[in-house]
Amino acid sequence: MKAWSDKIRKIEPYVPGEQSKNKNIIKLNANENPYPPSPKVIKALKEITDKQLSLYPNSNAESLVEALANYHSVQPEQVFVGNGSDDVLALCFMAFFNSKKPILFPDITYSFYPVWCKLFNIQYKEIPVDENFKINPSDYYTENGGIIIPNPNAPTGISEGKDFIKNILNNNKDCIVIIDEAYVDFGGYSCIELLKEYDNLVVVQTFSKSRSLAGMRIGTAISSKELISILNAVKNCYNSYTVDAVAMQCGIASVNDNEYFKSVISKIKATRERVSKEFAKIGFNVYPSHSNFIFVTKPDINAKNLFEALKNEGIFIRYFNIPRIDNHIRITIGTDEQMDILIKAVKKYIN
Amino acid sequence: MKAWSDKIRKIEPYVPGEQSKNKNIIKLNANENPYPPSPKVIKALKEITDKQLSLYPNSNAESLVEALANYHSVQPEQVFVGNGSDDVLALCFMAFFNSKKPILFPDITYSFYPVWCKLFNIQYKEIPVDENFKINPSDYYTENGGIIIPNPNAPTGISEGKDFIKNILNNNKDCIVIIDEAYVDFGGYSCIELLKEYDNLVVVQTFSKSRSLAGMRIGTAISSKELISILNAVKNCYNSYTVDAVAMQCGIASVNDNEYFKSVISKIKATRERVSKEFAKIGFNVYPSHSNFIFVTKPDINAKNLFEALKNEGIFIRYFNIPRIDNHIRITIGTDEQMDILIKAVKKYIN
């Protein structure tokens, strides 16, 4: 026991997901995009100047904020940009969840939510999803300190529509409601249009999935001007310059190449539909996915063993040792070639 | 008053330093480096691959950590890398200042320290520096929740040596002592060598000043393995991937080009010595600087008016409307050409 032990934070050393240095693996475990970012992003990267590297970037990432405002048809004052959507969500938790009442989120969802609650001493209550992993909106019509729901949800991939979100909002006018749309571009319903009606709604999105920029760390929040101004105030009290000059230029190039963006999305959606059918054909229960992954289970197959067997074949998928989903696996949608290798390996395993 | 007002954070919208979109100004207000980063950084930037952009980066920035460990002759487990030194410092405040006793820092210092204390509800006490803006070490020999001291200090540029740091450490074995070495490369004393003797010492450095990479956001903490593991745990509970793939490669290229690094430092030091003499010659009190800026005052000149006059000439320096230093200005060391224009403008103003 050190003399200073009582002054430092007691925290469980959290271990992030495993990474392999083997470049030959088929990586279907982190919901990354198998396609490269727009060629315009690569071009923007090569055009970065000395001065952009040596001077501080604009602290509000203004030029990227403007590109996003234009893309989403909102005002620039409604857009916030951060160092990946985890940074944006962490700042949202600090800014918007400041009540003594517990915040609410589903029990089966993005595993970072309870981690932020513990870090910032926020009370929380996990609301069980139903036996089909669906979220029941009326479970959220109780007093609370705030709500966060991912739509589509992860790791299930299940998506809800406009009525669902409106029901949540209509019954929660006295708290902040965050909808985490990390996977929305793959066919989900984006509630950005509802910002016109609700000033307590915050929509969070990311460049890591649909825009093939996980390596570049860009996330965004879109909300009312009032909440974005609070978010900027909290950000500027934490780290004034979170989005570097290169990320800013790459982000702008990505937002401005809508044609490329759409072509990547449609390739992934087509592969997802085909692969979902293939898995159903060999006896898997496949949850309807509106994301870039599928969530599957086969009652007579031990999910963890399948996960390990695929890993030995050089195919990385995601297994969660979490109650209720510990016989399920999550598979990121890769290229058609990658998915063919996966399906072959799964068939070999179950036969 | 909104229905949700009591659930969000009450925070003063903090406004970061002013930025100009005019590219013709002489920018001596943010302690940026007037020289470009190493040509090897530019080369590394152009060699970034599609895969580095589309996949998540290594969450601990391992390859950059290794380059830094090698550079500082410490173990990789003693090195932490973050999204600029503000991110590193914010995480250090969260990780290491968790006592009910107040933390201590000088009254004239980096203005972000009290901002983090307020954000994270950390008690603090500002210890007045003496009439020559020197820190008296014995002021820090009282019970406290932790200590942070910049060395060299900002905005004074005044540096302290090994005995000063050892005195602080010998009298504070039961708390964490952070030495913020943002400006150390410009001639200050780095206490990294003391890590062998003290396991409660944390040294924070940045790539924004001496390495000409303010636009790229890279900061680092070097400490005992035990404290770095706590810092990583807190970081991984906030945002697992703070250092993007491009920053990582640029950072490595910078660390590996020591020859270029030294040549930039010696140019800035030579300019600083010359400019300090020039300012003394025209009647300014120039504090002895070991950083890439000088801090000056002239009793018969109103600092704020001089600041405004220079701004009208397109020369941006830094003025602080803060008690004790409100008749001082801080001037970043630019190129020799930039400093000649500045000196000419100052002479014109005072005559």
Look at A53 and B213 and tell me if their CB atoms are within 8 Å.
Answer: yes
Provide the CA A30 distance to its chain's centre, in angstroms.
10
Look at A50 and B57 and tell me if their CB atoms are within 8 Å.
Answer: no
Look at A53 and B36 and tell me if their CB atoms are within 8 Å.
Answer: yes
Radius of gyration for the alpha carbons in chain A, expressed in angstroms and rounded: 21
In this predicted structure, what is the pLDDT of residue B17?
A: 63
Enumerate residues 6+ apart whose C-beta is below 8 A from B351.
none
CA A240 to each of CA B14, B82, B320: distance values in angstroms, whole numbers, following the listed order: 9, 14, 18
**Whole-angstrom distance, CA of residue B103 vs CA of residue B124:** 5
- Dihedral angle of Cα B225, B265, A48, A209, to the nearest 10 degrees: 10
- For residues A182 and A213, the answer to whether their CB atoms sit within 8 Å is no
Compute the Cα dihedral for B149, B151, B154, B159 and give only its sign: positive
Q: Which of B235, B257, B279 is the last residue of a domain?
A: B257
Instruction: Assess if residue A3 is contained within a domain.
Output: no
Angle at B222 between CA B218 and CA B226, to 5 degrees: 125
Q: What is the average per-residue pLDDT within B30-59?
A: 96
Q: What count of other Cβ atoms lies within 10 Å of the Cβ of residue B196?
A: 10
- For residues A78 and A222, the answer to whether their CB atoms sit within 8 Å is yes
**Whole-angstrom distance, CA of residue A339 vs CA of residue A278:** 10
> Domains in chain A: how many in total?
2
Q: Which of A187, A222, A256 is the last residue of a domain?
A: A256
Task: Provide the 3-class DSSP secondary structure of residue A334.
Answer: coil
Look at B54 and A214 and tell me if their CB atoms are within 8 Å.
Answer: yes
Q: Tell me, yes or no, whether B150 and B201 share the same domain.
A: yes
Look at A53 and B94 and tell me if their CB atoms are within 8 Å.
Answer: no
Record the tokens describing residue B25, joined without a space. 């100004």
Instruction: Assess if residue B9 is contained within a domain.
Output: no
CATH code: domain of residue A108: 3.40.640.10
- For residues B132 and B139, the answer to whether their CB atoms sit within 8 Å is no
Enumerate residues 6+ apart whose C-beta is below 8 A from B17.
B29, B30, B318
Instruction: Assess if residue B156 is contained within a domain.
Output: yes
Q: Tell me, yes or no, whether A246 and A264 share the same domain.
A: no
Q: Tell me, yes or no, whether B313 and B231 share the same domain.
A: no
Q: Which residues of B touch A199 (CB under 8 A)?
A: 2
Q: Tell me, yes or no, whether B311 and B247 share the same domain.
A: no
Write the Ramachandran bin of A295: left for phi over 0, alpha for psi from -120 to 50, otherwise beta: beta
> Smallest CA–CA separation between A338 and chain B, in Å?
15
Angle at A224 between CA A223 and CA A225, to 5 degrees: 115
**Whole-angstrom distance, CA of residue B140 vs CA of residue B147:** 8
> Smallest CA–CA separation between A260 and chain B, in Å?
15
What amino acid is encoded at A297 in this protein? T
Q: What is the average per-residue pLDDT within B223-248?
A: 96
- Tens digits of per-residue pLDDT, A188-246? 999 999 999 999 999 999 999 999 999 999 999 999 999 999 999 999 999 999 999 99
**Whole-angstrom distance, CA of residue A323 vs CA of residue A319:** 12
Instruction: Assess if residue A45 is contained within a domain.
Output: no
Pick from B109, B115, B177: which is nearest to B141 by CA? B177
Q: Tell me, yes or no, whether B43 and B29 share the same domain.
A: no
In this predicted structure, what is the pLDDT of residue B15?
A: 65
| A97-112: b (≥16 Cβ within 10 Å) or e | bbbeebbbbbbbbbeb
Which chain B residue is nearest to residue A118, measuring alpha carbons? B237
**Residue carrying structure tokens 């701004």:** B311
> Smallest CA–CA separation between A6 and chain B, in Å?
7
In this predicted structure, what is the pLDDT of residue B10?
A: 86
Q: How confident is the model at residue A323 (pLDDT cuts 50, 70, 90)?
A: very high
- Report the residue from A15, A37, A240 with minimal CB separation from B16: A240
Q: A328-332 and A293-297 as β-strands: parallel, antiparallel, unpaired?
A: antiparallel
**Whole-angstrom distance, CA of residue A91 vs CA of residue A301:** 41
CATH code: domain of residue A331: 3.90.1150.10
**Whole-angstrom distance, CA of residue A56 vs CA of residue B39:** 19
- Report the residue from B54, B59, B212 with minimal CB separation from A213: B54
In this predicted structure, what is the pLDDT of residue A2?
A: 87
Q: Tell me, yes or no, whether A63 and A198 share the same domain.
A: yes
Q: Kindly state the greatest CA–CA separation across chain A.
A: 62
Record the tokens describing residue A228, joined without a space. 């974005």
> Smallest CA–CA separation between B138 and chain A, in Å?
20
Which chain B residue is nearest to residue A244, measuring alpha carbons? B216
Which residue of A92, A148, A202, A241 to mutate against B (max B Cβ within 10 Å)?
A241
pLDDT at A3 over 90: no
In this predicted structure, what is the pLDDT of residue B18?
A: 65
- Tens digits of per-residue pLDDT, B67-76? 999 999 999 9
- Specify the DSSP element, H or E, that contains A146: none
pLDDT at B14 over 70: no
- For residues A275 and A333, the answer to whether their CB atoms sit within 8 Å is yes
In this predicted structure, what is the pLDDT of residue A186?
A: 98
Q: Tell me, yes or no, whether A340 and A200 share the same domain.
A: no
Enumerate residues 6+ apart whose C-beta is below 8 A from B253.
B38, B40, B41, B43, B44
- Report the residue from B34, B35, B96 with minimal CB separation from A8: B96
Q: B328-332 and B103-106 as β-strands: parallel, antiparallel, unpaired?
A: unpaired
Q: Which residues of A touch B225 (CB under 8 A)?
A: none
- Tens digits of per-residue pLDDT, A109-162? 999 999 999 999 999 999 999 999 999 999 999 999 999 999 999 999 999 999
Q: Tell me, yes or no, whether A124 and A22 share the same domain.
A: no
Q: Is residue B150 reached through a cis peptide bond, with omega within 30 degrees of 0 on the bond before it?
A: no
- Specify the DSSP element, H or E, that contains B94: helix B85-96
Strand ranges of the sheet holding A285-286, from the earlier edge strand across to the other edge: A285-286, A293-297, A328-332, A318-319
Q: Tell me, yes or no, whether B112 and B249 share the same domain.
A: yes
Instruction: Assess if residue A9 is contained within a domain.
Output: no
Helices (runs of H) and strands (runs of E) counted in chain A: 11, 13
Which chain A residue is nearest to residue B49, measuring alpha carbons? A42
- Report the residue from B30, B46, B53 with minimal CB separation from A216: B53
Q: Tell me, yes or no, whether B222 and B278 share the same domain.
A: no
Q: Tell me, yes or no, whether B162 and B277 share the same domain.
A: no
- Report the residue from B6, B94, B176 with minimal CB separation from A99: B6
pLDDT at B83 over 70: yes
Instruction: Assess if residue B79 is contained within a domain.
Output: yes
Q: Which residues of A touch B175 (CB under 8 A)?
A: 4, 7
- Report the residue from A16, A175, A237 with minimal CB separation from B4: A175
Mean pLDDT for chain B? 96
Q: Which of B257, B278, B294 is the last residue of a domain?
A: B257
Does the structure's ipTM exceed the value 0.85?
yes
Enumerate residues 6+ apart whose C-beta is below 8 A from A22.
A314
- Dihedral angle of Cα A284, A287, A293, A297, to the nearest 10 degrees: -30
Q: Using H for helix, E for strand and C for coil, what is the string for A194-227?
A: HHHCCCCEEEEEECCCCCCCHHHCCEEEECCHHH
Q: Which residues of B touch A15 (CB under 8 A)?
A: 236
Q: Which residues of A touch B36 (CB under 8 A)?
A: 50-51, 53-54
Range of the domain at A71: 54-256
Share above pLDDT 70 across residues of chain B, in percent, rounded to a whole number: 98
Instruction: Assess if residue A240 is contained within a domain.
Output: yes
- For residues B330 and B289, the answer to whether their CB atoms sit within 8 Å is no
Pick from B241, B67, B91: which is nearest to A19 by CA? B241
Instruction: Assess if residue A49 is contained within a domain.
Output: no
Q: Tell me, yes or no, whether B209 and B342 share the same domain.
A: no
Q: Phi, psi at residue B185, to the nearest 5°?
A: -65, -15
